[in-house]
Amino acid sequence: MIIVTGGAGFIGSNLVKALNQRGIDDILVVDNLQNADKVKNLADLSISDYMDKHEFADVMASNRDIESVSAVFHEGACSDTMASDGKYVLENNFTYSKLLFRFCQQHAAQYIYASSASVYGAGEVFVEEPSYESTLNAYAYSKLLFDNFVRHQIRAYGEIEFQCVGLRYFNVYGPREQHKGRMASVAWHFYHQYQANKQVKLFAGSDSYADGEQLRDFVSVHDVVKVNLFLLDNPHVNGIFNVGTGRAQSFNDVAIAVVNRCRNLDGESSLSFDEAISRGEISYVAMPEALHGKYQSYTCADMSRLKKAGYSSEFDTVETGVFNYVDYLTDGRS
């Protein structure tokens, strides 16, 4: 059996779909369905069982028997970077992750878990080393705390006897994120803004960056899933790895990709960026006060470590990935 926590969520449900495409359906999905919109992500998937995350925590804590487990993909988390309840965030993202670590240790199961590029804070070097890590919010701190717990286990006890891999996701976008609301990707928000008003709104400039020119490493969820499956297929690979494209692209790049693909699907020609600005199809709004000092204006994954581990597939550019995503959204699937 394979367990996917957060399996009804964004990355988790895409993982389950990819496992199904491999002919694997002996999958236990663990999640919290208080947000009933996430049920849509499970409707077309084949799984063997579902368990609420609190019930599964009880199973782990009590050492109750569970069917033979070969791997755990831990995608479940409180992902709200603006969350103010630090106790809640740490219980979800740190304590729960430790329970799963012990569970995988007991079952000798592969453990592939979601970390986050937010652990790098406002830095401009994105290498998987402590000297480059500095968190800006409780979410990022919870992710770094667990990464450091794993590092400590390795230092204290030598090589861990089961696969344990942390994946520092950069800015992920793609299908099955509709339930995330304000935490959905900018590609999702830009698409829905354009469909409603024929206009995309971006944050004005910040941290010396011009309007919409803040740079992020935007990575398609399809590429994220491919990395996860690579690790499933290579249980000898351990450690903490960045998962981005290795390219920093601007929010303006995402916006013009959304605008032009929407226009093309409506039978209209593409615009240059300057034309989109002059026509009002791209505009800017002030950054919310709540984000000041907590906003990453630049991210770009150093992919050297993952490539050294043997991963060689190419990653979609914004232009390719966002075009495909707009096609998906236009088909009415989100």
Angle in degrees, CA 303, 309, 313, rounded to 5: 60
Domain that holds residue 80: 2-172+220-246
* Strand-strand pairing, 215-216 and 249-250: antiparallel
Both tokens assigned to 323: 């075009």
State residue 117's pLDDT score.
95
What secondary structure, in 3-state letters, does 238-284 show? CEEEEECCCCCEEHHHHHHHHHHHHHHHCCCCCCCHHHHHHCCCEEE
Domain-embedded: residue 167: yes
Question: Catalytic residue among 139, 141, 173, 311, which?
Answer: 139
Catalytic-labelled residue, pool 17, 180, 198, 226 = 180
Q: How many domains does the chain have?
A: 1
Clarify whether 139 is annotated catalytic.
yes
Q: Is residue 146 part of a domain?
A: yes
Residue 192 lies in a domain: no
Contact 10, 176 (CB under 8 A): yes
Q: Point out the residues of the chain with pLDDT beneath 50.
A: none
Distances (CA, A) of 185 to 12, 44, 145, 260: 16, 22, 25, 18
Could you tell me if residue 251 is inside a domain?
Answer: no
1 and 212 Cβ atoms separated by less than 8 Å: no
Is 325 domain-assigned? no
Measured CA to CA, the distance from residue 269 to residue 277 in angstroms comes to 15
Q: In terms of pTM, does the model score above 0.85?
A: yes
Residue-wise pLDDT tens digits, 35-55:
899 999 999 999 999 999 999
Q: What CATH number does residue 237 fall under?
A: 3.40.50.720
198 part of the active site:
no
Q: Provide the pLDDT for residue 80.
A: 65
38 domain-assigned: yes
Q: Is residue 294 part of a domain?
A: no
Q: Is residue 105 part of a domain?
A: yes
